[in-house]
Amino acid sequence: MRNIESLGPLRARTVIVRCDLNVPLADGVITDDGRIRASLATIRELSGAGARIVLISHLGRPQGAPEERYSLRPVAARMAELLGSRVEFVDETVGAAASAAVGGLAGGDVLLLENLRFNPGETSKDESERRAFAQQLAEFGDAFVSDGFGVVHRRQASVYELAQLLPSAAGRLVAAELEVLRRLTEHPERPYTVALGGSKVSDKLGVIAHLLERVDTLLIGGGMLFTFLAAQGHGVASSLLEEDQLDTVRGYLDEAERRGVRILLPSDVVVAEAFAPDAAHEVVAVDAIESSRFGSSAIGLDIGPDSAAAFAEEISRSATVFWNGPMGVFEMEAFANGTRVVARALTETGGFTVVGGGDSAAAVRALGFADEQFGHISTGGGASLEFLEGKQLPGLEVLA
């Protein structure tokens, strides 16, 4: 992987830096600035080296046209606070105003361009459209630094094509994230436990096949646990269930048994009458979901207290723990206990702990834990899972 040093002296050169500044916003207010903070190391270093810095990023999923609610403007303001120096912002990505703003930069200055995804070329399926957009971006700079770890698994103009048009290198965040992921895949200290949860069930099932070859124990919580329970023949009432994945999940359970990998499923869950913060709820054993007082409308929204304690116990005995996906709907206090107990267990174990996933990272912060209490908090959920799956990531391949 080419690093920043490979670019040579940067004084007075214009460096385009692809960051992942895709932070959660509520009514225009940033609710978790973790991704901005994670971007600062590279920016400080380049600025200190006297480079003119042009930052590019996406935010949310606009459909190739400007939408005020996805503007990066609040991100520029927050970044300036964190850096303690000016961050200029221009409300277009390419065009005359952007070009003038880039032209006005002095050595050490930082400029953030508007959301890349306001331009259809960024995520186009058509390679020539992506190339054309990347070409417009490339005209702004002399070198490219790829530091948006959260997007390195995407074949997008600012991640993949742009890196081919300029001298390019991995930034410090990408390098740091990779070092952690290599530690997890190449020589994890054992016992190695992976806890999986969250809501993107089918996305995450893919990683399990690969993990079964590597881990000692898998803890299953979050939305996907109900597909596992159903695969074992339990009724799950109105809980999240991916029926087309039942056979796959049965296959995993069999393979785990053959390999001697333990898949730990919850023994109890919290079921609710509805998906709402104030919904009536109760704890039931996993074989009693359909006989709860909510009958067939019961929705499982968290792992139960016995399961949370069992998961915590398992984590405390592990030398390496990777956790992706909240154990329950932690955004609602009534269903946050499983996530809180698992997060606390990670902070208390002496092992090496990694939290991956945007919502998982937001969850630990929202529940009052500090980043320093974990070995590493990854800024990229999808990217880290694909890496653990053993896939080639386009945004990394292109920097090889």
Q: Is 266 in the site for ligand ADP (CB under 6 A)?
A: no
Q: Is 334 in the site for ligand ADP (CB under 6 A)?
A: no
Nearer to ligand ADP, 301 or 342 (CB): 301
DSSP letters for 57-126? ---S---SS--GGG-SHHHHHHHHHHHTS--EEES-SSSHHHHHHHHT--TT-EEEE--GGGSTTTT-SS
Residue 292 binds: one of ligand ADP, Mg ion, none (C-beta under 5 to 8 A by kind): none
**What's the rounded Cα separation, in Å, for the pair 214 and 192?**
8
Neighbours of 196 (CB within 10 A): 25
Find the binder of ligand ADP among 102, 301, 354, 399 (CB under 6 A): 301
**For tokens 């090889």, what's the residue?**
400
Find the binder of ligand ADP among 22, 359, 369, 376 (CB under 6 A): 359
Residue 301 binds: one of ligand ADP, Mg ion, none (C-beta under 5 to 8 A by kind): ligand ADP
Q: Is 358 in the site for ligand ADP (CB under 6 A)?
A: yes
| Backbone Cα Rg of the chain | 22
Q: Exposed, middle or buried, 254 (CB in 10 Å: 0-12/13-18/19+)?
A: exposed
Of 322, 53, 33, 58, nearest in space to 171 by CA? 53
Question: Given the rule CB under 6 A, which of 29-37, 114-122, 281-289, 358-366 is the region that contacts ligand ADP?
Answer: 358-366
Among left, alpha and beta (phi > 0; psi -120 to 50; other), residue 92 is: beta
Q: Is 381 in the site for ligand ADP (CB under 6 A)?
A: yes
**What's the rounded Cα separation, in Å, for the pair 395 and 381?**
15
Find the binder of ligand ADP among 138, 329, 341, 342 (CB under 6 A): 329
Q: Is 351 in the site for ligand ADP (CB under 6 A)?
A: no
At residue 55's C-alpha, the angle toward residues 91 and 113, to 5°, is 10
Strands (DSSP E) along 182-319, which ranges? Answer: 192-196, 217-220, 262-264, 268-272, 281-285, 299-303
Nearer to Mg ion, 62 or 197 (CB): 197
Find the binder of Mg ion among 121, 351, 358, 395 (CB under 5 A): 358
Find the binder of Mg ion among 88, 114, 359, 386 (CB under 5 A): 359
Q: Is 389 in the site for ligand ADP (CB under 6 A)?
A: no
Supply the DSSP symbol for 198.
S
Q: Known catalytic residues?
A: 35, 200, 358, 382
Instruction: Tell me which residue has its CB nearest to ligand ADP.
Output: 357
Closest separation in Å from C-beta 204 to ligand ADP: 7
Count of residues that bind ligand ADP according to CB under 6 A: 20
Q: Is 223 in the site for ligand ADP (CB under 6 A)?
A: yes
Q: Is 331 in the site for ligand ADP (CB under 6 A)?
A: yes
Closest separation in Å from C-beta 359 to Mg ion: 4
Residue ranges binding ligand ADP (CB under 6 A): 197-200, 222-223, 240, 300-301, 324-326, 328-329, 331, 357-360, 381
